[in-house]
């Protein structure tokens, strides 16, 4: 376990690096290609969700 927990921005940056490792790559088999495409789609979706979360965290909260 790391000494220091990762910030949300650090997590986003690591996801971006992982996404870049597979961007533009082709799988040797159909199964391999399907895994690459699924990984790229899923990491893209996770990053979008994180951006929304980070943006909402920066918004002022409305008082009830």
Residues 6+ apart with CB under 8 A from 12: 47, 50, 51, 54
Let me know: does 41 contact 2? Beta carbons within 8 Å. Answer: no
Q: How confident is the model at residue 30 (pLDDT cuts 50, 70, 90)?
A: very high
Q: How confident is the model at residue 62 (pLDDT cuts 50, 70, 90)?
A: low
Let me know: does 53 contact 8? Beta carbons within 8 Å. Answer: yes
Length of the chain: 64
Q: What pLDDT is attached to residue 48?
A: 92
- pTM, whole model, 2 decimals? 0.74
For residue 22, give the nearest of 38, 46, 45 by alpha carbon.
38
The full set of domain ranges for the chain reads 28-57
Let me know: does 19 contact 57? Beta carbons within 8 Å. Answer: no
pLDDT digits (tens, 9 = 90+) for 33-53: 999 999 999 999 999 999 898
Position 63 pLDDT exceeds 60: no
């Amino acid at each position: 376990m790391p000494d220091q927990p990762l910030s949300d921005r650090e997590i986003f940056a690591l996801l971006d690096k992982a996404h870049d490792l597979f961007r533009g790559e082709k799988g040797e088999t159909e199964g391999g290609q399907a895994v690459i495409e699924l990984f790229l789609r899923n990491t893209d979706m996770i990053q979008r969700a994180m951006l929304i979360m980070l943006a909402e965290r920066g918004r002022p909260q409305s008082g009830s």
